[in-house]
Structure 1
Amino acid sequence: MERRTVLRAAVVGAGTAAFSGALWQQAFGAVAQPGPGPYGTLLAADVNGIQLPTGFASRVIARSGQRVPGTSYTWHWAPDGGACFPSGTGWIYVSNSEIPIFGGAGAVRFNADGSVASAYRILSGTNVNCAGGATPWGTWLSCEEVPLGRVFETWPDGSRSGEERTRMGRFTHEAAACDPDRRVVYLTEDEDDGCFYRFIPDTWGDLRTGQVQVLCGPSDPVTGPVTWRDIPDRDGFPIATRHQVAAARHFDGGEGCWYDRGVCYFTTKGDNRVWAYDAVHEVLDLAYDAAQVPGGNAPLTGVDNITGAGSGDLFVAEDGGNMEINVITPDGVVAPFLRILGQGESEITGPAFSPDGSRLYFSSQRGTSGADVGSGGITYEVRGPFRR
């Protein structure tokens, strides 16, 4: 199979204006490699300890254990996965809390000018809420990263209490990404032999019932055609979901997940890879592999949360590494976009763009404290001339 030909056809079929998704794969012809990024070199650190390209500026939005400025809401510890949602003339940024027992998620609502309007809790009483994903109908899927973990559907405006969606499977959940074209939700699993799943709801927009399937295929070769098979017991007990289907493909520590026009990208931290699942032709490929960077000079390691811009650029956050967010461009270049200094014991989490694409939100889960419980978490905003 000529996978580049297949992917090229998929992109062209989407229209020449949709230069994102799989375009970089057919243009570059291999996994992304280091090169000059679209935003130039990083400047000296700003007052917040963040190195950014020319034209960009950062500000602190919230700190764990402290009230969000201008509100009475105390920001949660260990901020993790996040997403942005339009709200009136402004927008809302939601953020999970990756702490045991209390977990849950919080939100910050912004006015049209970017000022903070309010902050509040949208999910409580859950356990180690790591990443998740936004739905096309405007809800946030908050995922528990524990054995037999659950998915909770939440409402960013706080108008409804979060609701359990156990039919989406019980396992060590990490991230979720909705594919409105095939009407499925992709799910990653944070185990060193984890799987990649999809949930097919009986009715699109209603996640209360449906079928969980697991991606199947050989581990060698790494890339190629794949299939999907039903999980016999989505509750994962006594046999874990990842061990129920013999043909299931296993991945080393599933992390972030992002869908963009026919391709679902997901990351695996254990082997520093960004995968590209071509959902149109059911082909698995690699977008980035640190081991394939010559000379051992991989700019992106500890790959974790991932998000995308309208330009087709992927933004991948590091858990460790150099505490960077790297950009992978549609023409197959990977380069640092920002770097946080003095927080080497932390990890970058929850990257998400505002609805207009002009602002990027993310957190340093433990900040300068390095505490495992995330008491020093800091949530940031970066504003500037992003490609859209």
Structure 2
Amino acid sequence: MDFTLVEEEQMLADVVGRFVEKEYDFEARRRLAATPQGWSDAHWSTLAEMGVLALNIPSEHGGLGAGPVETMLVAEAFGRGLVLEPFLSSAVIGAKLIGRAGHEARKAQMLEGLADGSLKTALATLEPGARFDLWSVATTAEPTSGGFILTGRKGVVLHGDSADILLVSARTSGEQTDKHGITLFAVDARAPGVSVKGFPALDGQRVAEVVFDGVRVDAQAVIGAVDEGYPLLEWIVDQGIFALCAEAVGAMSRLTDLTFDYLRTRKQFGSPIGKFQALQHRAADMLSAVEQAKSIVYFAAAKLGDDDEQAAHRAVTAAKALIGKSARYVAQQAVQLHGGMGMTDELAIGWYVKRLTCIDMTWGNTEHHVELYGAFL
């Protein structure tokens, strides 16, 4: 398997890398995370001008029609800088889901808005008490004249308070834990009956609690087919998990670089502590964990590029399980090698650890995905 980037892919990686290096030094990121919105409109406009937001928009709708490798490169660069903008929610999940199954009457307009950054989406699927089970859906969508009425609650919606459109899973038939009977909807976040309460998560990213109280949507709000939304939901969450795994690789790589720099400069007994053999062994193990994580993300990218969706699902599940394990190890070692200051908010190390922790808990932690992969076997 050849992991060498072609010229266009390398150019994309270089351009996004320069953006992150210029705009996301640690202090600038801390100030941005403390603002009410939690991210920058100026950065968002720059990403749109760079074409990053149009990567996953189908070419027939004016986008770049890129594949998983391009998403991986952008997400990895964003992980190195702990980028706060809602790239995952809008430019990956929103673009791919609407592009694949959005209602034809609205698809073109929505994709155009996603590409130029004027429209932002958020995936509202997890519910209180459901843990990581995507099929556990208590939110209901009752058929009515010309559409549906949505009632329910969604939790920890990534960038939910910035979204113009909420991509919602709701039950149109069956019991709460049935996989059949789930339907996906594109819901206006400002529609009557929609309540969105945003707040910062542990890592500084914005999340929201969303309540639907008798929200009326028309039939064109349906994404895909009525009652047949679960396979589509599983597929789009896999796309999101893959991007998160790539972001984690970027964060681990940067965390390793920062730790190695510290080992080279921090002195004890008149010598850099990086000369101590025991610490060199730890550093080598950190580097091995990062390379192993990078390899499985590349493997998942290759599988997502094929037509075998079941194989792609297995690859993403394996990647999420391994990424969580590797990230935990790298984070723990980075903190230990920095001493007590490794967990302070004044040092970048602690924020990378927090971000990796949140990535592990998003759409299923390591243990959850190990169980899922065991079921495949």
- The structure with more helix, counted as a fraction of residues: 2
TM-score per shorter chain, which class? under 0.3
Larger RCO (alpha carbons 8 Å, 6+ apart)? 1
The TM-score normalised by the length of structure 2 is 0.28
- The structure with more strand, counted as a fraction of residues: 1
Larger of the two Rg values belongs to structure: 2
